[in-house]
Amino acid sequence: MSRPQDAAAPAQDILVHTEAGVTTITFNRADKKNSITEAMYASLADALAQAEADAAVRCVVLQGDMAIFSAGNDIGDFLRQSAAGAASDDAERPVWRFLHTLAAFPKPVLAAVCGPAVGIGTTLLLHCDLVYAGDNAAFSLPFVNLGLCPEAASSLLLPQMLGYHRAAEVLLLGEPFLAEAALEVGLVNRVVPPSECNLLAQTQAKKLAAKPLSALIETKRLMKAGQAAQVRERMREEGASFARLMAGPAAREAFSAFMQKRHPDFSNC
């Protein structure tokens, strides 16, 4: 029997469903490419906090749909928040609350990724324990192209996972890489047809839900114990850099060009 949750953003942009020990959190804004608003970040953080507190929940699955995982931040909402004076490094902002909650989440987190996963749509995967990708998945980290720097401790975790030179390629150039490349470097566990991806994540989640929660939590804690403090500190440092760059000329030019649907000119940045 599934239990309704009260963690959905307006218009049900985030769906939360709990059944048989598995909480499934779904990006449900495909008409906007599952781009994420502040309200959605708040819902994501709340859903994770509720799943952590619920002793019946053994693991969490994050998913989109077969065509799109997430296009990252909703640019319009992001710019409105910035114009309203919301500091990019404010630890109380929903985006940071979500990232810190995800990074410290003690139970297993799985992700099913089909289609584009842009910006935070990719960096959040670094804090998941198992990641399954559709063969149409495309990962991209275009922070530099927006005059910004990485977030979610990706400047720490990506070099550890990919090696420095591969991490430099994806972070400095900001070009997409596909599912097979993600599998090769260990970002994803398995690549399957898009129609099978969410089902595979659910199948694996059910296996985890049948295991002793105490052992799952302790095993995850031990694997991550050496990097937990580093992740928190790197997130803080990235947030401060992100805020500084957001106020700079390169970001202003990048976002102006985006809104005006033209190529940015960084010759004076």
Per residue in 185-195, pLDDT (tens digit) is 999 999 999 99
pLDDT on residue 85: 56
> What pLDDT is attached to residue 5?
45
Domain ranges of the chain: 3-195+209-260
pLDDT for 87 equals 56
Question: What is the predicted pLDDT for the residue at 80?
Answer: 85
- 3-class state of residue 232 by DSSP: helix
Identify the CATH class of 3-195+209-260: alpha beta
What's residue 206's pLDDT? 98
Neighbours of 240 (CB within 10 A): 14
Residue 263 sits at φ, ψ, to 5 deg, of -75, 135
Q: What is the pTM of this model?
A: 0.93
- Which parts of the chain register pLDDT below 70? 1-11, 83-91
The predicted pLDDT at position 92 comes to 78
Q: What is the pLDDT of residue 144?
A: 98
Strand arrangement of the beta sheet that strand 138-140 belongs to:
116-118, 138-140, 177-178
Q: What is the CA radius of gyration of the chain?
A: 18
pLDDT at 81: 80
The structure tokens listed for 122 are 């990719």
Residue 35, classified by CB atoms within 10 Å of its CB into exposed (0-12), middle (13-18) or buried (19+), is buried
The answer to whether 200 touches 112, Cβ cutoff 8 Å, is yes
Q: What is the pLDDT of residue 4?
A: 40
Per-residue tokens: 142: 């275009």
Contact by Cβ (8 Å): 231, 221: no
Phi, psi of 144 (to 5 degrees): -60, -35
Q: Cβ of 207: how many Cβ atoms within 10 Å?
A: 10
